[in-house]
């Protein structure tokens, strides 16, 4: 499931955020480079009522559910599955005055390879990028980038039970990330993690994600994450359901040698 709650903004906005900087950034060596191993399993199912069947679409909250009056042969059902292993690379190009970052992310995995995408990352995890690159960002890339935000952990205590929510909901779109400290040792914390997304409209959808994250509060970087996600999107009479299992592990960081 690719995150649909990204800040898809016109190029003119990005130009304002990076005045006269694009050419200079090209010539700079990255301030920091990171590499993550990733393992991804994605299953998708598309259900469409057949000609011998009529369906009613009932609105439920901000998503949609299909309530079918079955007759005849039932629904046309198409299922696909993808398993991929590879890596995600992140080059941090510069830091902004408001504690944000300018970075590039790319993924190299069989049947899931994506080219480099430049992103302006806010301190709260908000992503700004060329809308044309939305198809070039995978769910796992977006997760990694948001956890690299300099204000992600902030001044939250490391005591088990500490919990907070990152709310980036706007314009009728629900986007909530819930975190809870499960344990900590030295400079790392293990967090429980859950995501809620909802959007209405003609192609409304519901999405959830649940898993865990090991985060280094000193180096400000995710070390390992595992999560399951599920999304349901209604497009006309067709219901699309996608389920993903994703594991991410930091394998290289130019800031220093990784500790076990």
Gap between the Cα atoms of 47 and 238, Å rounded: 6
* Residue 206 pLDDT greater than 50, yes or no: yes
* Residue 239 pLDDT greater than 70, yes or no: yes
Predicted local confidence at residue 78, as pLDDT: 78
Predicted local confidence at residue 129, as pLDDT: 95
Gap between the Cα atoms of 79 and 93, Å rounded: 40
153-179 confidence digits (pLDDT tens): 999 999 999 999 999 888 888 999 999
Domain extent listing, the chain? 7-250
Range from 48-62, 113-127, 133-147 carrying the lowest mean pLDDT = 48-62
CA nearest to 1, candidates 221, 153, 237, 211: 211
Predicted local confidence at residue 219, as pLDDT: 94
Predicted local confidence at residue 235, as pLDDT: 82
Predicted local confidence at residue 172, as pLDDT: 84
> 259: pLDDT confidence band, cut at 50, 70 and 90?
low
Q: What is the mean pLDDT of residues 93-102?
A: 95
Pairing type for strands 32-49 and 101-109 reads: unpaired
> 229: pLDDT confidence band, cut at 50, 70 and 90?
very high
Gap between the Cα atoms of 17 and 252, Å rounded: 29
Query: What's the mean per-residue pLDDT of the chain?
Result: 82
Position with higher pLDDT, 14 vs 99: 99
* Residue 226 pLDDT greater than 60, yes or no: yes
Q: What is the mean pLDDT of residues 1-18?
A: 38
33-82 confidence digits (pLDDT tens): 999 999 999 999 988 876 534 444 333 333 333 344 444 444 567 788 99
Residue 90 near residue 145, CB atoms below 8 Å = yes
Residue 201 near residue 7, CB atoms below 8 Å = no
């Amino acid at each position: 499931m690719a995150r649909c709650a990204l800040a898809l903004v016109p190029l003119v906005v990005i130009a304002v955020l990076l005045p006269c900087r694009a050419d200079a950034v090209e010539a700079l060596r990255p301030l920091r480079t990171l590499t993550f191993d990733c393992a991804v399993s994605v299953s998708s199912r598309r259900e469409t009522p057949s000609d011998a069947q009529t369906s009613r679409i009932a609105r439920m909250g901000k998503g949609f559910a299909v309530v079918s009056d079955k007759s005849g042969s039932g629904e046309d059902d198409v299922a696909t599955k993808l398993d991929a292993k590879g890596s995600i690379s992140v080059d941090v190009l510069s830091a902004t005055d408001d504690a944000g970052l300018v970075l590039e992310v790319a993924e190299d995995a069989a049947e899931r390879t994506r080219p480099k995408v430049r992103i302006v990352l806010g301190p709260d995890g908000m992503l700004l990028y060329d809308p044309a690159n939305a198809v070039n960002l995978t769910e796992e890339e977006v997760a990694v980038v948001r956890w690299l935000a300099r204000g992600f952990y902030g001044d939250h205590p490391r005591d088990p039970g500490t919990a907070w929510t990152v709310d980036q909901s706007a314009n009728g779109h629900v986007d909530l990330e819930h975190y809870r400290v499960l344990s900590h040792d030295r400079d790392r914390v293990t967090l429980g993690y859950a995501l809620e997304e909802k959007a209405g409209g003609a192609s409304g959808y519901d999405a959830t994600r649940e898993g865990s994250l090991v985060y280094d509060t000193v180096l400000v970087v995710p070390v390992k994450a595992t999560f399951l996600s599920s999304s349901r999107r209604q497009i006309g009479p067709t219901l699309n359901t996608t389920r993903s299992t994703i594991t991410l592990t930091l394998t290289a960081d130019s800031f220093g040698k990784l500790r076990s």
